[in-house]
Amino acid sequence: MALNVKEEGGFKYVDEGSGQVLMLLHGLFGALSNWEGVVNRFSRHFRVVIPMLPIYEMPIKEAGLEGLQKFVEDFVNLKKLDRMVIMGNSLGGHVALLYTLHNGTKVDKLILTGSSGLFENAMGGSYPRRGSYDYIRERVAYTFYDPAVASKELVDEVFETTKSIPKCMRIVAIAKSAQRNNLANDLPNIKVPTLLVWGLNDTITPPMVAYEFNRLIPNTELRFIDRCCHAPMMEHPEVFNEVVEQFLTRNAA
């Protein structure tokens, strides 16, 4: 299904289905297409909401985790969301963790996949290099176990983004903010049921990161998907969605 982007109060977002809110938070180079499989599956029984994080537009002085956390808080307040299940991939998982730590009463469950917050290799070990299509194609492919998942459309989108100097400046600022913002000491304060879905072949947030999240967050369930790298919901959408549905069913209110 084509996702319909709405605008209200300076926010761009997707809002599909009805029921308990399932809010999806994308990563540093995330796009709506990353979540199509999740929206198609869960908008039947949930109200699936995806705020478009202002990674490329936010003022450079605010380009960091705190600015993104405040953005999500403002969006949630505008839409009057509550009892949310929050799902975050990569940087979006990091933002989900920060939001939950500061707004725990609004969060019912947490789902993290390839989340930063403890350790990550930015862009697979380096920051974006402007002007080299081959380099960007290689780095995007590095995100997936099967490089074929890195479609030309996806590579083109990232390449266009990295051609912009202001956008690159924000990407680097946010990536550095994520690397500085280690949550190891705070994770024991997350009390909601938490699902960790990890690619067994993740090269950006390796399996050891998932094990550490599992150790530090009190009420967790850890599931690995084989032949899968940093974006399980894109590489193995059916398996990913099945794992998520089982978790939500077991932890139903």
Spell out the domain ranges in the chain: 5-121+182-250
Judged against a pLDDT cut of 90, whether residue 233 lies above it is answered with yes
pTM given for the model: 0.92
Closest CA to 171 of 25, 27, 24: 27
pLDDT digits (tens, 9 = 90+) for 44-83: 999 999 999 999 888 888 889 999 999 999 999 999 999 9
Judged against a pLDDT cut of 80, whether residue 86 lies above it is answered with yes
Q: 165: pLDDT confidence band, cut at 50, 70 and 90?
A: confident
Of 95-104, 139-148, 200-209, the poorest mean pLDDT is in 139-148
Is 173 in contact with 28 (CB distance < 8 Å)?
A: no
Question: Which CATH number is 5-121+182-250's, of 3.40.50.970, 3.40.50.1820, 3.40.50.720, 3.90.380.10?
Answer: 3.40.50.1820
- pLDDT, mean over the chain: 91
Percentage of the chain beyond pLDDT 70 is: 95
- Predicted pLDDT at 125: 41
Return the higher-pLDDT residue of 196 and 150. Answer: 196
